[in-house]
Structure 1
Amino acid sequence: MSTQLSTPVNRQTVSALSKSKGEPAWLEESRIKGAELAETLEWPTPEKVRISRWNLAAIGNHKSQSAITSVSELPGSIGELVAGAQAGLVVQRNSTSVLQQLSAELAAKGVIFTDLETAAREHGSLVQQYLYSVVPQDENKLTALQSAIWNGGVFLYVPKNVEVELPLQALFFSEDAGATFAPRVLVVADSHSRVTYVDNVVSAYGESAESIAKQSIIEVIVKPGAHVRYATVHHMSANVIDLTIRRAVVENDGNIEWVIGDLHDGHTLSDTQSLLKGNGSNSDAKVISIGTNSQQMSLTTGAVHFGRNTESNMVTRAVMKDSATAIINGITKIEKGATKSNGVQQEKVLMLSPKARGDANPILLIDEDDVKAGHAASVGQVNPEQVYYLMSRGISKKDAERLIIHGFLAPVVSEIPIDAVREQLQRLLERKLEG
């Protein structure tokens, strides 16, 4: 089934789509609200990147897919990305979730891991309590529109005191450039729980595929004493505009870890933020990116300290080739009353071409005296002295430069929590660096 969803969306189109899916009334109403807000709000305006020039209206049409029983029914190279998933797996293909798996042991402990559409029907009160609570619908045109058209997605709920030892995985896969691709992820980790979640966002289009704007929003709620590690790798085709907002609210003594591989081939807006609401809460964010050809990228990582004794650490590493451009922002904000807090950030850009551009912008906004905050930022080329040293040890210039680049990116690559995903990330790095 294909349902028209061309921009601008309106009350009638999203209502019809919601009814066709059998969604609860509250969700239909929230989609309608998002569509109406999208008509009046403006697109976000990231620093020095005019995303309004991108083809943001190319959101495609909703297209249903048939369910599958195993990853073996996916194209070989795609299925291999999640072949080792043991604890749980959710697969979205184009506009539809086609596979949901969760181990019997975790289900017995009360863990919920399924697509967000199913969760809205089967766990409505829980989803309704948290959906849009971290990223409001009315923030801008992107948040409003995504709340109207999101599809598939993931809902993960971990009950109090439950520790999930093995990573839960998701695969968001698009192969039809005419299909709306807008997954939404909602993670709720209850008090003193622990979980690692990993997703791959991937596409497989022909060379002549039309442009499509992929919108995704991630909301993470970390309750007191809980620990969430969220790892994601984006590697889509150049015809995809990747618009992604990630945000976490962290309560007392909670921890959020972000590990992000932005290895997308097209234009990118990536905004990751931790709101440290609770005393003693912590955030650690590591981001890696490689820009090639004429890519335009806006990569923002932020932490807002509200609670006392909160800590944030942000590390971004970007490598720019050809005529790619990247604006990399690190924003640490310490609010009044967040005493004894500590915010540290690093943004480093390695330039491999005289036509490439990378701006590293560390920003500290401090409204409290009794705190610590620091930043480091650098933009430069491969150090010729390092190359010379390695060549003096019998290593070719090409291999020496490759070793230096991999060492530059290692602080993020080493943090990927699944061996297969880490190996996949290494392959993607090689592909993008070799061109």
Structure 2
Amino acid sequence: MSTQLTTPVNRQSAEALSRSKGEPDWLGALRAKGAELAETLEWPKPQKTRIDRWNLNAIGVYKPQTTVSSTDELPEAVRNLSGEAPAGLIVQRNSGVVLKQLSAELQAKGVLFTDLETASREHADLVQKHLNTVVAQDENKLTALHSAVWSGGVFIYVPKNVEVELPLQALFFSDDVEASFSRHVLIIADSHSKVTYVENVVTDYSDTAEAQSLVQQAVVEVIVKPGAQVRFAAVHHMAENVIDLTTRRALIENDGRMEWVIGDLHDGHTLSDTQSLLKGNGSTSDAKVISIGKNKQQMNLTTGAVHFGRSSESGMVTRAVMKDQATAIINGITKIEKGATKANGQQTEKVLMLSPKARGDANPILLIDEDDVKAGHAASVGQVNPEQVYYLMSRGISKQEAERLIIHGFLAPVVSEIPIKAVREQLQQLLERKLEV
């Protein structure tokens, strides 16, 4: 029998949580507002996925964590993901951040890389100005509830004209199914700056905990100032008992560039929404997403770009592989607003089916309110091409190996984009494990 960790959230509990962390009054008030909104708003209603049937209230309870002095004190499974000397590293265990590192060189340049709770106290001017401005509290019940209960998280600020050459990395892991696991990431890239951020989200539960359920909530807000460049890469891999609810959104100003590289390799139900708001003239966005579903997993993956600025460009590529009885709803949404002349939005969604009982649905959507634009889409749902298999078998390769090579080639455009070798290798290992027959 599963344990339902439903936690009541109201104004009083949100304010108490904020006081226990010693947060500033403005953040406590923001949490209280989120709790009140959550009581009146409805859950999001993604296309063809009844998330209201999921146990969305099993958010766990806030548990303070003990800090560590180095990655050597982390569990081996997490320690091996820290990569090759990133410019900065943040590790969150369950409800709280336990390790923070940033190179002296970047500190001297004014780069801020810390947990969001600390930033709300030490850099309140920046956090208060931008928090919940890209993903609004009142968007739906999920965003409201998250704004009331999030903990830990990441805050990045890159000053004007500063380029962070090596990636900043965050590791989020949960090994206590009773502890809350809801993080908020806020990234601000000031004018003509450049930064790459990579996050890895994993779980490591004991056998007795596997029967319990937990909701992983995450909100990512990225603000790309004029001429700035941000690259965001993420790999999610959690246990079947975890429901992954992740909202990512970027606001891109004049001539700014946003790149998303997302590996949704979670084993449980997934609701993922990644969107770029191209506010500025000449702004660009590029999104690459891969996912693999197995067993009876339900996945709803949405990638979107909304064009406001003139001569703005967006590209979206989503590739999903479904096996067993897994179900995937793949949505690509390109919206070009009135006045966004010379905009160009292109998208491709492809779903590969490895089982007759698996289901995949690719939905390309173009919403165009301006005449002088370019927009296009391509979508396909099908099985492994037998002609490709036959060709490889004619070269002495077994049928199983031929199919494996074809699938890896199908997913390669995203795998190759992961900017940290250790994370890229982990992604490849996850692909192998999830594709095993």
TM tier, shorter chain?
over 0.9
Q: Which residue of 2 aligns with 1:342?
A: 344
For the Cα contact (< 8 Å) 1:71–1:83, is it kept in 2? Answer: no
Q: CA deviation at 1:206?
A: 2.4
Q: Which residue of 2 aligns with 1:38?
A: 38
Amino acid across the alignment from 2:86? Q
Alpha-carbon separation, structure 2, partners of 1:77 and 1:90: 16
Q: Which residue of 2 aligns with 1:198?
A: 198
The residue correspondences of 1:266-345 to structure 2 (distance < 5 A) are 266-345=268-347
For 1:110-164, what per-residue CA distance to the aligned partner results, in whole angstroms no more than 9, with x for missing partners?
Answer: 0000000010011011100100010010000000000000000000000000000
Structure 1: which 5+ runs fail to align?
Answer: none
Say yes or no: does 1:121 pair with 2:109.
Answer: no
Q: CA deviation at 1:238?
A: 0.3
Aligned residue among 214, 217, 220 for 2:219: 217
> Secondary structure of the equivalent of 2:121?
helix
Q: Which residue of 1 aligns with 2:161?
A: 161
Say yes or no: does 1:79 pair with 2:79.
Answer: yes
Q: Which residue of 2 aligns with 1:28?
A: 28
Q: CA deviation at 1:419?
A: 1.6
The residue correspondences of 1:400-415 to structure 2 (distance < 5 A) are 400-415=402-417
Q: Which residue of 1 aligns with 2:254?
A: 252
For 1:201-237, what per-residue CA distance to the aligned partner results, in whole angstroms no more than 9, with x for missing partners?
Answer: 0001123421001100000000000000000000000
Alpha-carbon separation, structure 2, partners of 1:26 and 1:203: 32
For 1:297-348, what per-residue CA distance to the aligned partner results, in whole angstroms no more than 9, with x for missing partners?
Answer: 0000000000000000000000000000000000000000000000000000
For the Cα contact (< 8 Å) 1:8–1:39, is it kept in 2? Answer: no
Aligned residue among 368, 374, 380 for 2:370: 368
For the Cα contact (< 8 Å) 2:7–2:61, is it kept in 1? Answer: no
Alpha-carbon separation, structure 1, partners of 2:40 and 2:22: 28
Alpha-carbon separation, structure 2, partners of 1:13 and 1:229: 36
For 1:212-268, what per-residue CA distance to the aligned partner results, in whole angstroms no more than 9, with x for missing partners?
Answer: 011000000000000000000000000000000000000000000000000000000
Alpha-carbon separation, structure 2, partners of 1:11 and 1:245: 23
The residue correspondences of 1:221-236 to structure 2 (distance < 5 A) are 221-236=223-238
Q: CA deviation at 1:417?
A: 1.1
Aligned alpha-carbon RMSD (Å)? 0.9
Amino acid across the alignment from 2:43? W
For 1:365-395, what per-residue CA distance to the aligned partner results, in whole angstroms no more than 9, with x for missing partners?
Answer: 0000000000000000001110000000000
Q: Which residue of 2 aligns with 1:183?
A: 183
Question: Mean alpha-carbon deviation: is it higher for 227-236 or for 414-423?
Answer: 414-423
For the Cα contact (< 8 Å) 1:161–1:191, is it kept in 2? Answer: yes
Structure 2: which 5+ runs fail to align?
Answer: none
Give the TM-score normalised by structure 1: 0.98
- Off by >6 Å, runs of 4+ in structure 1: none
The residue correspondences of 1:133-148 to structure 2 (distance < 5 A) are 133-148=133-148
Amino acid across the alignment from 1:316? T
Alpha-carbon separation, structure 2, partners of 1:207 and 1:251: 48
Identity %: 77
Question: Mean alpha-carbon deviation: is it higher for 11-20 or for 330-339?
Answer: 11-20
Q: CA deviation at 1:83?
A: 4.4
Alpha-carbon separation, structure 1, partners of 2:205 and 2:31: 29
Amino acid across the alignment from 1:327? I
Alpha-carbon separation, structure 2, partners of 1:344 and 1:375: 6
Q: CA deviation at 1:293?
A: 0.3
Q: Which residue of 1 aligns with 2:432?
A: 430
Amino acid across the alignment from 2:296? S
For the Cα contact (< 8 Å) 2:83–2:422, is it kept in 1? Answer: no
Q: Which residue of 1 aligns with 2:10?
A: 10
For 1:87-131, what per-residue CA distance to the aligned partner results, in whole angstroms no more than 9, with x for missing partners?
Answer: 100100000111111000000000000000010011011100100
Alpha-carbon separation, structure 2, partners of 1:74 and 1:203: 13
For the Cα contact (< 8 Å) 2:277–2:306, is it kept in 1? Answer: yes
Alpha-carbon separation, structure 2, partners of 1:118 and 1:128: 13
Alpha-carbon separation, structure 1, partners of 2:149 and 2:237: 22
Alpha-carbon separation, structure 2, partners of 1:85 and 1:221: 26
Q: CA deviation at 1:6?
A: 4.5
> Secondary structure of the equivalent of 1:110?
coil
Alpha-carbon separation, structure 2, partners of 1:6 and 1:19: 22
Q: Which residue of 2 aligns with 1:241?
A: 243
Alpha-carbon separation, structure 2, partners of 1:141 and 1:189: 29
Alpha-carbon separation, structure 1, partners of 2:238 and 2:139: 26
Aligned residue among 364, 380, 383 for 1:381: 383
> Secondary structure of the equivalent of 1:343?
strand
Amino acid across the alignment from 2:276? S
